[in-house]
Amino acid sequence: MGIRLFFLMLALLLVYLIVRHFLRQSSAQRPIAKKGVDMVQCVHCGVHLPKPEAIFDEPNFYCSEEHRRLG
């Protein structure tokens, strides 16, 4: 009857190790920077920002409305 408890604990340990492994893997794969987003540069101050967040005034990109006015 002791061997059943041993196998139960072994199974729980195995499950714990598998869960921990997958949790680590998912956190490690979390991207730091946004992927697939074009980066543009503000022509006024030179800051880099994602294209969807930039203000576009042909042919230049700006980081803010203020910098668009300043040019």
| Residues binding Zn ion (CB under 5 A) | 42, 44-45, 63, 67
- Alpha helices (runs of H) in the chain, residue ranges in sequence order: 2-28, 65-70
Q: Which amino acid is at 37?
A: V
Query: What 8-state DSSP symbol labels residue 42?
Result: B
In angstroms, what is the minimal distance from the CB of 36 to Zn ion?
A: 23
Query: What 8-state DSSP symbol labels residue 29?
Result: T
Judged by beta carbon, residue 22 or residue 56, the one nearer Zn ion is 56
Judged by beta carbon, residue 40 or residue 42, the one nearer Zn ion is 42
In angstroms, what is the minimal distance from the CB of 35 to Zn ion?
A: 24
Q: In whole angstroms, what is the distance from residue 21 CA to residue 33 CA?
A: 23
In angstroms, what is the minimal distance from the CB of 58 to Zn ion?
A: 17
